[in-house]
Amino acid sequence: MIKGLQEYLASNKCFKLILGANNENYDEITRLVALYSAAGCRFFDINASENAIKAARRGFEYSKKTDCFLCISVGTANDKHLSKYKINDNCVSCNTCVSSCLEGAIQNTNGKVSIDEKKCIGCARCVSACSFDAIYSYQKQSDWNNLDKLFPMCECVEFHMDSNDIDDIFQKWEYLVNNFDGMLSINASRVNFSDNQLIEILKKMISCARQNHVMIQADGIPMSGGADNYHSTLQAVSCADLIINSNICPYVITSGGTNAKTAELARILEVPLNGVAIGSYARKIVKDFVQDDDFLYNEDKFSSALKVAQELVESV
């Protein structure tokens, strides 16, 4: 299967749907995988759990697609992608956070606001919206002790190097290189490193792995998608440009603020991407359809959502 994934990346038309490194809303994962695989997406990023893999497989069963690839995401300690949020006693039930959440993870029930842990993906929009310091974060760590059990069930493992702990990054990367035979993806951003530092770290990581078995996902501003404009995706394309110009990896796609304008902006700026990974924006544009329990069995709803999803996939 790795050859098929390499060919998909080499087509320069790779569309990757990001479902969230800590998204545990498994019914929604099934619906989104069914929808976007039917729309032409072949690459899906999910949390590193058997439940997430099974949920994605159910989506493939619905769409009857057999040429798709699953990527499980893992991270270091304090990885923003693995954060979740809770409400504390400072909450005054103003509902500002409820309307800010793109995932529908926050509810006000009888005057009490709460966050559904399974739906929360750690985007922190609620924190930015809150004026009362009523929301705090906590970590859902990757289960590295049982990770090898998931390896036969996926084609790719994505490693989020969202940390300034260099020793931890290389220790975990070495484990993946030595134990996983599929495609390894490095989610790389400039949040913790200067441009030169980032490139040197990536060079060292790639030198440890097998040739052509590594791809890089250039992360602009993690989990910042939602708007469909050039500004939202600019940092993602810029990060990809930096990495592509370093000539350290044959496959580079981009994420973090990505949307329907990402591939277009990359073409304008002559940044030769292998593809685009889209999360928040891709989920947002079909949310009104997918959140309904009868989505997979309502032909009109599915057909309407499919047109929206196809347009986004085709933008890449």
Say whether pTM exceeds 0.95. Answer: no
Judgement on whether residues 294 and 153 belong to the same structural domain of the protein: yes
Neighbours of 277 (CB within 10 A): 27
- The helix or strand, by DSSP H or E, that contains position 197, with its residue range, turns out to be helix 195-208
Separation between Cα atoms, residue 182 and residue 71, nearest integer Å: 10
Q: Give 106's contacts (C-beta < 8 A, 6+ positions apart).
A: 97, 98, 100, 113, 114, 115, 116, 126
With cut-offs at 50, 70 and 90, classify the pLDDT of residue 181. Answer: very high
Confidence check: pLDDT of 141 > 70:
no
Q: Give 144's contacts (C-beta < 8 A, 6+ positions apart).
A: 74, 172, 175
Judgement on whether residues 128 and 260 belong to the same structural domain of the protein: no
pLDDT tens-digit profile of 260-287? Answer: 999 999 999 999 999 999 999 999 999 9
Neighbours of 266 (CB within 10 A): 21
Judgement on whether residues 127 and 172 belong to the same structural domain of the protein: no
With cut-offs at 50, 70 and 90, classify the pLDDT of residue 182. Answer: very high
pLDDT of residue 216: 98
Confidence check: pLDDT of 230 > 80:
yes
The encoded tokens of residue 126 equal 């609620």
pLDDT of residue 82: 66
Average pLDDT for residues 296-313, to the nearest whole number? 97
Confidence check: pLDDT of 127 > 90:
no
C-alpha distances in angstroms, 58 versus 61, 64, 154, 272? Answer: 5, 10, 14, 34
- The helix or strand, by DSSP H or E, that contains position 208, with its residue range, turns out to be helix 195-208
pLDDT tens-digit profile of 192-205? Answer: 899 999 999 999 99
Looking at residue 204, which CATH number applies to its domain?
Answer: 3.20.20.70
Judgement on whether residues 219 and 296 belong to the same structural domain of the protein: yes
Judgement on whether residues 133 and 147 belong to the same structural domain of the protein: no
Q: Which long-range CB contacts under 8 A does 194-198 form with residues at least 24 apart?
A: 195/242, 198/242, 198/243
Task: Specify the residue for token string 């490095």.
Answer: 186
Neighbours of 297 (CB within 10 A): 10
Separation between Cα atoms, residue 239 and residue 202, nearest integer Å: 13
Judgement on whether residues 295 and 241 belong to the same structural domain of the protein: yes
The domain boundary, picked from 97, 112, 139, lies at 139
Judgement on whether residues 305 and 224 belong to the same structural domain of the protein: yes
Enclosing domain of residue 73 = 2-79+142-315
The encoded tokens of residue 225 equal 């998608």
Separation between Cα atoms, residue 33 and residue 194, nearest integer Å: 36
3-state secondary structure at position 194 = coil
Separation between Cα atoms, residue 152 and residue 161, nearest integer Å: 23
Judgement on whether residues 128 and 241 belong to the same structural domain of the protein: no
Judgement on whether residues 285 and 212 belong to the same structural domain of the protein: yes
pLDDT of residue 211: 79
Separation between Cα atoms, residue 178 and residue 197, nearest integer Å: 24
Q: Hey, which residues does 69 pair with through a beta bridge? A: 43
Nearest Cα residue to 276 out of 4, 3, 9: 9
pLDDT of residue 74: 94
Task: Specify the residue for token string 């441009």.
Answer: 195
Average pLDDT for residues 174-203, to the nearest whole number? 95
State the Cα torsion 204-254-115-102 to the nearest 10°: 170
Average pLDDT for residues 89-114, to the nearest whole number? 82
Residue, of 127 and 78, whose pLDDT is higher: 127
Judgement on whether residues 306 and 244 belong to the same structural domain of the protein: yes
Judgement on whether residues 216 and 162 belong to the same structural domain of the protein: yes
pLDDT of residue 2: 84
Confidence check: pLDDT of 171 > 80:
yes
Average pLDDT for residues 113-133, to the nearest whole number? 79
Looking at residue 126, which CATH number applies to its domain?
Answer: 3.30.70.20
Average pLDDT for residues 310-315, to the nearest whole number? 98
For the chain, give the longest Cα–Cα distance. Answer: 57
The encoded tokens of residue 257 equal 């603020």
Please report, for the chain, how many H helices and E strands are present, in that order. Answer: 12, 12
Domain count, the chain: 2
Rg of the chain taking only CA atoms, in angstroms: 19
Judgement on whether residues 151 and 16 belong to the same structural domain of the protein: yes
Nearest Cα residue to 71 out of 46, 51, 50: 46
